[in-house]
Amino acid sequence: MTSGFDARAGEWLARARESLDKAKLGPRADEIGRVERIGDGVARISGLPSLQLDEIMQFDKGALGFAHSLDENGVNCVLVDPAENIEAGDSVRGSGDVLRAPVGRGLLGRVVDPFGRPLDGGAPIEPERYDPIDRPAPPIIDRDFVTQPVQTGVLIVDALFALGRGQRELIIGDRAIGKTTLAIDAIISQKNSDMICVYVAIGQKSSGVRRAIDAIFARGAPERCIVVVAGSASPPGLQWIAPFAAFTMAEYFCDRSQHALVVIDDLTKHAACHREIALLTRQPPGREAYPGDIFYVHARLLERSAKLSQAKGGGSITALPIAETDAGNLSAYIPTNLISITDGQIVLDARLFHEGQKPAVDVGVSVSRVGGKTQARALREAAASLRLDYAQFLELEMFTRFGGMPDSRVRAQLARGARIRATFSQTRHEPLRLAEEVGMIAALQSGLLDALPLDKLPAFRASLRDALDRDAAKAVAQLESAGALDRPLAEEFKAALAHHAQVVAAKTKGTP
């Protein structure tokens, strides 16, 4: 018994000596920084000469930050956690790693902060891995043409300003006139598509974020949505990294030949956050006190949306950034920057909104620089002259306000324009399918709606889905799959529209 124990003890001692011989013994330098001052979410750190830009820094009391700017005398650290317990003199260490966000299918259906920490009360996220939040945009050689449509379900957008997969379309307008609603409708409309949706809220009130989340989860496909929240009460650093983290989460799916839609709500608040951080770190201010790199920050972010070539998998990221204007001023610094970066803009007008035109899209100044190249053929053919007709109506309406008796031709044009405007009105969070959009435009253009009073057009639209599914099911299926109709199904589709218009007209006449 003793000899066996001695043998095992000798074997253990031999392995221990071998491990000690391989160990590298000697002094090791451990860099420790000190907090010189702290306030408003920014700390000035001395020491840490080997720290790299954007490196994560950890304070001894547990809070995290990242190196925003470096100079020969110290580091400006932007905090991403509350700083109540941090004081001057506390120690801080570098992590050796840059800012990263979790990626993977485990994020789908969840509400998280930019670091993937759950905000919905659910279980901790189990990501596939952590990727850097700052990633270079795909080079030109890796991109393909934007040709596949993104159906937003908003008739005025899909008919006049078609969006494509890989496009960057700015949604811009004054406060509280439907910008977020338009973007949420685009997310809800992807319920029957294959797109992954990422909604990121930056500096928004909790009540507004709650309404957006409720709409997405109640009417959309939450199992294919990720909600990233950095609210108004979050530290400025967390708000600043939020859109970058959202793009990283979307790029995981894009790299796997899937398609993603990223809604950034909104970049005006992100720009204000960037300005706040820049002024607190004593960077020189420029126009409207914004630092000189604000254009570069947003361009670097939005350039990550693209349609990849087939050699790279053919995935795409479509971006819908939101920007807020003051009194409709599109020539302000941030709006002009974003308009020049994006591939078009959907401008919402406060006057139209208060007149009851919802969505309050200003047709005159809105544009999509991709346009008909991505539009479904059936919708493009139906809406061929619609924008010109509507623009002429708006001009005629303005002149007739000065008085005078227009002739019969002008009166007919005004009546038709009023029907176009009524057709474009739409209830929020009720996006239309492609078949319903084609049906509404075709019925308008063919004169089927002329017999209906303007106040009955909402009833026509509300019951159109059931009528088409009942009377033209094959045509609806072909439209949704191919975006066009062959001749026999086109005739069936027109007949179903005519019958539905007759039914609604008969109900209208029977109404006392």
Positions marked active-site = 369
φ/ψ (deg, to 5) at 371: 60, -135
Task: Kindly report the three-state secondary structure assignment for every residue of 333-368.
Answer: HHHHHHHHHCCEEEEECHHHHHCCCCCCECCCCCEE
Q: How far is CA 175 from CA 211, 333, 348, 350, 422, in A?
A: 16, 17, 10, 8, 24
**In contact, 120 and 110? CB cutoff 8 Å:** yes
- Of 425, 416, 414, give the one whose Cα is nearest residue 446: 416
Q: Partners of 69 in the beta sheet?
A: 76
How far apart, in whole angstroms, are the C-alpha atoms of residue 194 and residue 97? 34
> Which residues 6+ apart lie within 8 Å of 57 measured at CB?
33, 45, 48, 51, 64, 65, 66, 67, 75, 77, 92, 93, 94, 95
Say what the alpha-carbon torsion angle 66, 71, 74, 78 is, to the nearest 10 degrees: -20
Q: Is 103 left (phi over 0), alpha (psi -120 to 50) or beta?
A: beta
Alpha carbon 26 to chain centroid, angstroms: 53
Pick from 79, 132, 71, 75: nearest CA to 102: 132
Q: Tell me how far apart the alpha carbons of residues 366 and 347 are, in angstroms, rounded to a whole number.
A: 5
CA–CA distance, 142 with 251 (Å, rounded to integer): 14
Burial call 184-217: b when 16+ CB within 10 Å, e when fewer: bbbbbbbbebebbbbbbbbbbeeeebeebbebbb
**For residues 456 and 504, is the Cβ–Cβ distance under 8 A?**
yes
